[in-house]
Copies of this chain bind each other. A is one copy, B any other.
Amino acid sequence: MPDLTPLLAFRWSPRAFDPAAMLTGDEATSLLEAARWAPSAGNTQPWRFAFGHREDDTWKRILVSLPADDQRWARHASALVVVAHTGGDPERAAYDLGQAVAHLSVQATALGLHVHQLTRFDRAGLATELDLPVGIRPTVVVAVGRLGDPFALPEDLRDRETGLRQRRPLADLLLA
Contact = CB atoms under 8 A, between A and B. Distances in A.
Interface residues of A, number: 68
Interface in A50-71: 50-52, 58, 61
Contacts of A170: 29, 32-33, 36
A95 B139 contact: yes
A74 interface: no
Contact of A174 (B9, B50, B99, B165): B50
A103 B45 CA distance: 18
Given A37-B8, A51-B174, A95 B94 contact: yes
Closest 6 CB pairs of A and B: A98-B98, A102-B102, A5-B110, A50-B176, A95-B98, A94-B95
